[in-house]
Structure 1
Amino acid sequence: MSSQTNSAESRTTVLKRKRLVRASLAQQVADALRDAIIRGELKAGTRLVEMEIAAQMGTSQAPVREALQRLEQDGLVARRSRSATYVTEISMEEMYEITLVRKVVETIAACHTARYITPEQCDELEELVQHMHEVASVESMPMLARYDMAFHSRIVEWSRKDILVRVWTPLKYQVMRFLVAIHPDVFSNLAEVAELHMPIIEAMRKKDPAAAMQAVEDHIMLFWNEERITTYLNSHRELTALTRTEG
């Protein structure tokens, strides 16, 4: 009886290890592909073939398939047929809509986080801004975007609202991708991007929910000046008119 029990425990241990290894591989593949998409190395419309990716990364197709499913949940890829997966397009219209959702999520999070935040957590936010300055000095927008989203993720995570975290997680990858794509036309000095986070920290240190909400909203909507919003609205009207005509 004892030997049978030991044998069963041994099989269970092996199975758990296999699941962990596979999960780890899928995460590594997802991270590598996500990073390439955010950096713009994998362009919109690029077809992602499971067999080719598996060969390049030295793994089987199963972890690749799981990784692509994760990226699909993030909105970075889309499956158009049973075997064809493509990097999604990124448009100004979609990003404006994502920004509006992001504004709602982050302002609510900021309101709650401002009540609970500790001095040590404020220090952590300042450290992330310092990291942004460091990578700005070598003009690495992908790394700056990573620290930028880490900053905003902390505010959402510290809100103690799980639903906000669930909504925020896929949004942040789209925002990172957008920042990397548009920064040459918008930000002449990357150090300015880092410095734009300081009003949020100041409001957090004061534990002022209203000020924190306003600082976050101002920060998020800074990119969307009147000209860009007008472009979005005009595009939306044209799309609506076309849909009605076709109907």
Structure 2
Amino acid sequence: MSEPGRVAPARRRGLADEVADRIRDAIFSGSYEPGSQLREVELSVALGVSRGPVREALHRLEREGLVRSEWHRGAMVTTLSSEDVTELDSLRAALEQLAVRLVIDHATDEDLTAIDKAVERMDRAADEHEMVRCDIDFHDAVYAAAGHRRLLEAWEAIRSQVHLFLLTRIGLNTDGYLACVPVEHRELAASLRARDREAALELFAVHRGQALDVLVKHHRSDVRSP
């Protein structure tokens, strides 16, 4: 019996975390595309766990924005609406502008080297899904270099949704993607190392805009379709 005033340990927390990690990785690797159903029974069998940790893991992924639940359809991988796309881009822009300014003003050589190394990993990406992971890793390094704890927490709150944003982008068009992304990020990293505020803000805005354009054009074509 637990002592008065003491909280009992959450016995299944570790297992639910692991299940959430496995499902998240499956989404990020393309095994479950946007709109795919995530059935508790199938997941519990595949992962060798009971339905309880799976249900808890899906709730966690729903809080991250990766999963949505509907009473008549159950859980499914989030499909970003045009409103989702616009809101994510505007919030990401606000956070990123602050991060770029802080990096230029305060980042150490060690911070900038970590950003450069994230770019170098892009040259070894085997496919588009791995490149998206490298893209997210690059931005992780930028936010870490900003040295602003609450800004980093704000990024982490939307990180999975931005990853989904980029997955949606490669699901629509991959022409030249593997070749162009490392080049773009080398330019971003170089602007940070040069501590050129205006050039860096402009390059980061252009970089965001390229992915946004792909998604916006897709949604516009859906609206025009009969």
- Residues in 2 aligned to 1:173 and 1:187: alpha-carbon distance in whole angstroms: 24
The match for 1:110 among 87, 97, 100 is 100
**1:72, distance to aligned residue in structure 2 (A):** 0.6
**1:130, distance to aligned residue in structure 2 (A):** 1.3
TM-score computed with the length of structure 1 as normaliser? 0.74
Q: Which moved more, 1:210-219 or 1:70-79?
A: 210-219
Change in Cα spacing, 1:59 to 1:96, as seen in structure 2 (3 Å) is same
The match for 1:64 among 54, 64, 67 is 54
- Residues in 2 aligned to 1:186 and 1:56: alpha-carbon distance in whole angstroms: 30
1:158 aligns with 2:149: no
Query: After superposition, what is the alpha-carbon deviation per residue over 1:111-169, rounded to whole angstroms, capped at 9, x for unaligned?
Result: 1122221112212211111111111xx3x111111111011122123323333223322
Q: After TM superposition, which residue ranges in structure 1, 4 or more long, deviate above 6 angstroms?
A: 233-236
Change in Cα spacing, 1:234 to 1:108, as seen in structure 2 (3 Å) is farther
**1:191, distance to aligned residue in structure 2 (A):** 2.6
Q: Where in structure 2 are the equivalents of 1:1-247 lying within 5 Å? A: 19=11, 22-81=12-71, 84-135=74-125, 138=126, 140-183=127-170, 185-225=173-213
TM-score computed with the length of structure 2 as normaliser? 0.80
Count of aligned positions? 220
Identity among equivalent pairs (%) = 28
Change in Cα spacing, 1:41 to 1:115, as seen in structure 2 (3 Å) is same
More helix, by proportion: 1
**1:200, distance to aligned residue in structure 2 (A):** 1.9
- Residues in 2 aligned to 1:82 and 1:166: alpha-carbon distance in whole angstroms: 34
Change in Cα spacing, 1:93 to 1:74, as seen in structure 2 (3 Å) is same
- Residues in 2 aligned to 1:133 and 1:170: alpha-carbon distance in whole angstroms: 28
Listed as ranges, the gaps of 5+ residues in structure 2 are none
SS in 2 for 1:48: coil
Q: Bigger radius of gyration, 1 or 2?
A: 1
Listed as ranges, the gaps of 5+ residues in structure 1 are 1-6, 239-247
Change in Cα spacing, 1:143 to 1:229, as seen in structure 2 (3 Å) is closer
**1:209, distance to aligned residue in structure 2 (A):** 3.6
